[in-house]
Amino acid sequence: MTLLPHLAALQVVIPLLAAPICIMLRRPGLAWGFATLVSLTDFVISLGLLWQVQTDGPFSYAIGNWAAPWGIEYRVDALAAYMLVIISAMGAAVMLFARRSIEAEIEHARIYLFYTCYLLCLTGLLGMVITGDAFNLFVFLEISALSSYAMIALGRGRRALTAAYHYLILGTVGATFYVIGVGLVYSLTGTLNMADLSRLLPQAAGYRTLEVALAFITVGVALKLALFPLHKWLPDAYSYAPSVVSAFLASTATKVALYVLIRLFFTVFGASYLTEGIPVAEVLLVTAIAAMFSGSAVAIWQADLKRSLAYSSVAQIGYMVLGVALISAAGMAAGLLHLFNHALMKACLFLALGAVFYRLKSVNIRDMEGIARQMPLTMGAFVVGGLSLIGVPLTAGFISKWYLMLASFQDGRWWLAVLIVLSSLLAVVYVWRVVEAAYLRPRPHGAPAVREAPMSLLAPLWGLALANIWFGLDTSYSYGAAQWAAEALFRAGGLL
Amino acid sequence: MTQISALVPPGVILMIGGLLLALLRGAPAARAVILPLAPLVTLWAVWQVPDAVVMSAAFLDYRLDIVEGGALSRLFATIFAIMAFLGGLYAMKRDSVMELAAAFIYAGGAVGVCFAGDLVTLFVFWEVMAIASATVIWANRTEGSFAAGMRYLFIHLLGGVLLMAGIAAWVMETGSLELEAMAPADVATWLMLAGVLVNAGAPPLWAWVGDAYPEASWSGTVFLSAFTTKTAVYVVLVLFPGVALLTWIGLAMIVYGIIYALLDNDIRRILAYSIVNQVGFMLVAAGIGTEMALNGAAAHAFAHIIYKALLLMSAGAVLYQTGIRKATDLGGLAKTMPITAICGIIGAFAIAGFPATSGYVSKSLITTAAADAHLAWVWFPLETASAATFVYLGLRWPWLIFFGKNNSGLTPKDPPPTMTAAMVLTAVLCIGVGIWPSALYGLLPVPPDYSPYSVYKVVHQLQLLLFAGLAFFALKPLLRPKRTVTLDFDWFYRRFGTFLAAEFGMRGVRAGGSVLDIFQGGLRRFVTFVETHHGPGGLLARTWATSTAVFGVVLLLLIYLIIYFV
Amino acid sequence: MSKTPETTGPRKSPGQEDSGGLSLPPLPWLIGAAVVLAVLVGADAVIDFKPHFGVDGIFGFHAAYGLLSGLFVVIVAKIAGIFLKRTDTYYDAD
């Protein structure tokens, strides 16, 4: 017997089953080792799935051999495989970093709970991507959301609790909106299977119910996506959560929400539905541009750097949504590419701040003055991530901006390309503030002496930093996969 | 035999030198070896590049020609490598490793631009230059240099993004990344031209030159003066030769440089303004577009780098020995700093185009090109500008520092041997090119059949300059500097700092203070708006109450519903 | 050691600065300069060249043009200075 046909199920089932085992392990070191092992395994599985899709094309997996549409179907196509690799890779990278950082930021007795929550969250995120069932997606959405509320609440200080609560309320509203939308669609079509839905929905076109459903789903998912102006939960959640959690959520959670949006819009509703009659794409475009500028502008004025990065995430989500909203294969590919590249850069930046916090117990810009002399490697990685965020050539960020601009020009909207590059100048400012403080300012008098972060933090951090450079030079994997996923999506939707 | 340039681009050799310096933390031995050696190896490598693509790589869907040789590339790369050598020698005693490393990476970027065979490679090196040069400014580690460096970087990144947007549009239109002569006709080419001109110090953003260069250290400015504007000239010569608009832009820069230099009091800012003035000559020539004119632009860039470096070395020596940068506090230093004074005077005469200097042999190509093309409206202003250059720099500048009354009361000596040696070498080069122009002419893309030393040319140039000198002596009292600064375009992004700091109490982000200067644009209302909504406690930055947030979500849902229904 | 590039020089009130601008150089210098200038202008009578625009073929044109240009730009700059100059502490409040 071979496990190969069951990879799709294993992808989700392994972390799901690992979570209760993790509770039993109790000891922080063991829990970490186990969670890391699971993450790495999941990463390997996702690569296997990607390979399968690339060689044999998209395939379905019926859970428990119950055929769709009655049973739950897992569906792995190019886009899903691409997302699975990103999520599991980020999970693995973050886990490698997590051990000492988590020890420093979470109470000893609760550490095993963190790893359990992390595994559940990973399960939820992977499940959302792989499932081919609209309601099953909601279930996974809740699994990931509930576990991330818990992870945020594990942060030290009472504000983490408030932030988690705030996120909980808004996240629940978002999920509820989604499920209301799915319910309305179910009332029209009588099915929850995405493939079925995409076949049946065109017949229901024109029903008001469908439009209401789309509105509910759009707002619900946009909330999870932290799309401007529904982003208010994100900065608090990211700034008060433990560093590792911020890095993990920033590089995966919002990305999966974007995936859901793409999946529902392009696969379920069909992109033609978006371009005809309803100005969804235009609405998305406007909010994306607003996010790009507003998010970056707020980031400039934040003294807490995690908060600054959180706002920067809001802006970066704008770029991804912008790519998607162009409703072209090139735009989609650019958006998906940025999704991957942004995961790399944000994980790198948040982990760098995690390393700073490990030594300094603060990520306030005033406390970080002159720190580059004591922590040259950590700050060096931060600078690489920052350059990538700005979109400097030879970094991954440049490739994203390049393709976004090409897609805009291809669409004949050159002003959009100019807006993209102008907004990236705002990133220069908030990245440079950190460089000025850390490199050019003297260490304040009486500031505690700090040392370079330990190797166990530096190694994964620099792994990510180098990945930012690697994917800025060699785009055959990143852009190749994004383009492949985008074209498959458009071909499946009959748009190409 | 494998070409060295096929293994590593010449510019990258310099960059490696810079990185090694940084890694070795500027140990004296490393300095003594790397500072002279890296530029010399680069110079050798520059001359190994044949007139063909020798290094290429696949990137995205394109083939990048990372190293492509050509006469113009070789000319510019040669002078950049020479300049890195002279600058490195001059800066041997500079204690900031950060500055030296950044300066070599910066120079390497400039050499890289010269050999870039496609738009993307060019852009990559272009951005490397922007960041490295800003680092050179910051390395002075003064409050002034932080703020000015950031303003400088911001302007250049703005130019960079315009260029990048233009390149993307161009690729979309033509599918080609090749460097080819183009004319500003559509969005793509206009964006590219705008991006390149920002680096040339063209209006309206020209203020960065005078703003940032004097804020670098005594050695940093020597590097800064050589590369950024001249690479822009190189790119203009490659991409936009003969675009008539450039002539007008160049003339505006010439006028601007003269007036601002005449009014200024900072001995190095005067020189910074004169860079804009001289780059104006080059752009005028690029705009004329005849073979002679393009030759002139390239030759003038070459000559300009030498004499401007010489002038800034002389000014840097004064700054190094006295710590004074204001002309009102200087004067009469020729007695105690004779070598510095002589070198400064040679540089000043060269920039004015005095016969037997490098400036003469290159500038006369440009004026002759204008005359040959019968462009009276170009030729007469150029002659006026030549005369004016002799007044504002050839005579006034040495007078302020080296002659007249010694306002500082100091009796500084000539600087340490390495600095003096660098100055003397540069001065020799300056005179050498002036006496044997054929050496420079031979490097030009199409070696001109031209001799600047016919009797009437020399006589007329001397007439022009010496009688302008007469005007200088007649008006000397008017030319005395005052303790002033001169308003410029940077006013729009500098002046409102005071308002903002006072009105919005931005102490909380003091560490990023100088960044905020950027946002102090003329659009004060906009800034106020952004600050009140985005700043700490602003509507968009505040943590909303959960109920408010939920209400907002529901409201948005309503809006969506309305949009969908309509 | 490099010195700080900040202004450390003594500051004087403007009226105190170098009042020697109006004093003339020694007579031999003046005579020498006058001879040089005269010879340069006189050379126009001897040398042969082809003017490009007509007006530049006039006897002593370059000399006159140089003198006028010198005077012109200084005066223009002075006028511009009335509008553009501020004290050098203008930006210090930033």
Is B478 near chain C, with CB under 8 Å? yes
Res. B359: pLDDT tops 90? yes
The set of residues, in sequence order, having a beta carbon less than 8 Å from that of C82 and lying 6+ positions away, is none
Are B312 and B271 a contacting pair, CB within 8 Å? yes
In this prediction, residues B381-400 reach a mean pLDDT of: 92
Give Dmax (Cα) for chain B: 88
Q: To the nearest 5 percent, what fractions of chain B are helix, strand and coil?
A: 75, 5, 25
Over pLDDT 90: what percentage of chain B?
55
pLDDT at B2: 57
Contact between residue B273 and residue B264 where contact means Cβ atoms under 8 Å apart: yes
A443: which 2 tokens? 């260490």
Task: Give the pLDDT confidence of B40-61 residue by residue, as tens digits.
Answer: 999 999 998 888 888 888 877 7
Give the count of beta carbons closer than 10 Å to the beta carbon of residue B31.
Answer: 19
Q: Would you place residue A446 in the very low, low, confident or very high pLDDT band (cuts 50, 70, 90)?
A: confident
Q: Mean pLDDT of all residues in chain C?
A: 73
pLDDT above 60 for B513: no
Mean pLDDT throughout B10-38?
89
Record: contact B546-A170, CB cut-off 8 A = yes
Query: What would the mean pLDDT of A455-470 be, rounded to a whole number?
Result: 91
pLDDT for the residue numbered B367: 93
CA distance B100 to chain C (A): 14
Question: Does the pLDDT at position B526 exceed 80?
Answer: no
| Residue of B177, B546, B559 to mutate for A, most A C-beta atoms under 10 A | B546
Residue A381 predicted with pLDDT over 70: yes
- Identify from B99, B140, B259 which residue to disrupt to test chain C contact, counting C C-beta atoms within 10 A and taking the largest count: B259
Of B324, B469, B482, the CB nearest to C7: B324
pLDDT tens track for B75-100: 999 999 999 999 999 999 888 888 99
Residues in chain B within 8 Å Cβ distance of A216 = 557
Per-residue pLDDT at B107? 96
Q: How far is C29 from chain B (nearest CA, A)?
A: 13
Query: Domain coordinates of chain C in residue numbers?
Result: 25-84
Strand (E) or helix (H) holding A59 = strand A59-62
pLDDT in tens, A339-375: 999 999 999 999 999 999 988 888 888 888 888 888 8
> Given a cut of 50, is residue B349 above it in pLDDT?
yes
Give me the amino acid identity at B322: T
Return all residues near B450 (Cβ < 8 A) that are at least 6 apart: B292, B365, B368, B441
Q: What is the pLDDT of residue C6?
A: 42
Position B29 scores a pLDDT of: 86
Cβ contacts (< 8 Å) between B485 and chain C: which residues?
A: 85-88, 90-91
For residue B127 the two structure tokens come to 């951005």
Please compute the mean of the pLDDT values over residues A310-316 and round it to a whole number: 92
User: B540 falls in which pLDDT band (50, 70, 90)?
Assistant: low
| B273-307 confidence digits (pLDDT tens) | 999 999 999 999 999 999 999 999 999 999 999 99
Mean pLDDT of A480-493: 85
Evaluate whether chains C and A are touching (3 or more beta carbon pairs less than 8 Å apart). no
Flag whether the ipTM exceeds 0.85: no
Q: Report pLDDT digits (tens) over B131-146.
A: 899 999 988 888 788 8
**B53 - beta bridge partners?**
B68
The answer to whether C52 faces chain B, any CB pair under 8 Å, is yes
Instruction: Find the closest chain B residue to C51 by CA distance.
Output: B371
Search chain B and give the residue with CA nearest C50: B456
Q: In this predicted structure, what is the pLDDT of residue B73?
A: 94
Predicted confidence (pLDDT) per residue in A210-268, tens digit: 888 888 888 889 888 888 888 888 888 888 889 999 999 999 999 999 999 988 888 88
pLDDT digit string, tens, across residues B110-123: 999 999 999 999 99
Distance CA A264, CA A175 (A): 14
Task: Over range B410-417, report the average pLDDT.
Answer: 89
Q: What is the pLDDT of residue A274?
A: 64
b vs e for B129-147, b when ≥16 Cβ sit within 10 Å of the residue's Cβ?
bbbbbbbbbbbbbbebbbb
Tokens in use for B368?
């002759």
Percent of chain A whose predicted confidence (pLDDT) is above 70 = 97
- Considering only the beta carbons, identify the residue of A208, A230, A441 that sits closest to B556: A230
What tokens appear for A397 in the block? Answer: 């960020």
Quick one: pLDDT band at residue B337, thresholds 50, 70, 90?
very high
| Closest residue to C40, CB basis, from B258, B462, B468 | B462
pLDDT at B104 over 90: yes
Amino acid B508: pLDDT: 37
How are beta strands B484-486 and C85-87 bridged, if at all? antiparallel
